[in-house]
C-alpha cells in the first residue's frame, strides 16, 4: 500500500496566487476546521524558496500546497496518512475525491481558475520507483480512472523523479474535477 499520492491542478495562467490571500484563507480554514476528514493544523510559508512548495496547509491526513515545482504554479493535494481505501485504485479514487473538495474551496474562496489537466504523482520512491516496469503498470491502473477519453502522459522518464502522470483535458478525471 502506498503512503503518499499527490494530485496537482495547475492554474490556468502560469502565475502565483496572491500569497497573502492564500495564507489568510488557509488560516481561516484551520480556525473553522472546514473540511470533514481532515484535522487542519498549521500554515507554513516558503515563498522565499523558488520552484518548490510555497505555502503549505498542514493537516494530519494531507498537505494542501501552493506548489511551484517544475516552474508552474498550481494547487496540490498530497495525501500522506490515514487511508480508508485498500489497493492503489481505491487510494487514487480517495485522493482525487479529497483533492476535488480542496480545489473547489480554493476556487470559490480565491477566485482562481485552473488549467485543463491534472498531474498525479506517487511520492513513495521506495514503493513505486520510476522504472519502465512501474511506468507501464501504474499507467495501466490509471488509464481507466484518469484517461478514458483523453491522454495520459508520463511526467518524467528520469528515475530520479517521482513516478507521475499528466491527464489532459479530455480525461474523465479532469472533467470530473471541474464538475460541480
Question: Which pLDDT score is estimated for 171?
Answer: 39
> Average pLDDT for residues 38-62, to the nearest whole number?
87
Top-confidence residue, 15 or 78: 78
Phi, psi of 152 (to 5 degrees): -125, 120
Question: Residue ranges per domain, the chain?
Answer: 5-178
pLDDT at 137: 94
Terminal Cα-to-Cα distance of the chain (whole angstroms): 30
Q: Which long-range contacts (CB under 8 A, 24 or more apart) does 20-29 make?
A: 21/110, 22/55, 22/66, 22/110, 23/55, 25/106, 25/109, 25/110, 26/55, 26/57, 26/64, 29/57, 29/105
Q: What DSSP state is assigned to residue 114? A: B
For the chain, counts of helices (H) and of strands (E)? 4, 8
Retrieve residue 78's grid coordinates.
498530497
Give the mean model confidence (pLDDT) for residues 32-51: 87
Give the pLDDT band (50/70/90) at residue 47: confident
Is residue 53's pLDDT more than 80? Answer: no
Q: Residue 180: its pLDDT value, please?
A: 42
Residue 178 has pLDDT above 60, yes or no: no
Dig out the grid coordinates for 37 from the structure.
476528514
CA atoms of 120 and 123, how far apart (whole Å): 10
Report pTM: 0.88
The residue that leads in pLDDT, 21 or 158, is 158
Mean of the per-residue pLDDT values for the chain?
86
Using the predicted structure, report yes or no on whether residue 32 has a pLDDT greater than 50: yes
- Average pLDDT of the segment spanning 135-144: 92
Strand 118-122 to 62-67 pairing:
unpaired
The pLDDT value given to residue 145:
81
Amino acid at each position: 500500500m502506498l503512503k503518499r499520492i499527490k494530485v496537482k491542478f495547475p492554474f490556468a495562467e502560469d502565475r502565483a496566487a496572491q500569497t497573502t490571500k492564500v495564507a489568510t484563507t488557509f488560516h481561516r480554514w484551520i480556525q473553522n476546521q472546514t473540511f470533514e476528514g481532515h484535522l487542519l493544523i498549521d500554515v507554513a510559508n516558503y515563498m522565499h524558496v523558488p520552484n518548490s512548495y510555497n505555502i503549505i496547509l498542514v493537516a494530519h491526513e494531507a498537505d494542501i500546497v501552493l506548489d511551484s515545482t517544475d516552474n508552474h504554479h498550481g494547487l496540490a493535494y498530497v495525501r500522506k496518512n490515514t487511508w480508508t481505501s485498500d489497493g492503489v485504485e481505491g487510494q487514487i479514487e480517495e485522493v482525487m475525491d479529497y483533492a476535488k473538495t480542496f480545489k473547489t474551496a480554493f476556487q470559490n474562496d480565491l477566485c482562481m481558475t485552473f488549467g485543463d489537466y491534472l498531474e498525479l504523482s506517487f511520492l513513495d520512491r521506495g514503493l513505486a520507483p520510476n522504472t519502465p516496469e512501474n511506468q507501464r503498470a501504474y499507467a495501466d491502473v490509471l488509464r481507466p480512472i484518469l484517461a478514458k477519453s483523453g491522454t495520459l502522459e508520463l511526467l518524467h522518464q528520469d528515475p530520479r523523479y517521482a513516478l507521475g502522470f499528466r491527464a489532459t483535458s479530455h480525461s474523465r478525471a479532469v472533467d470530473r474535477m471541474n464538475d460541480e
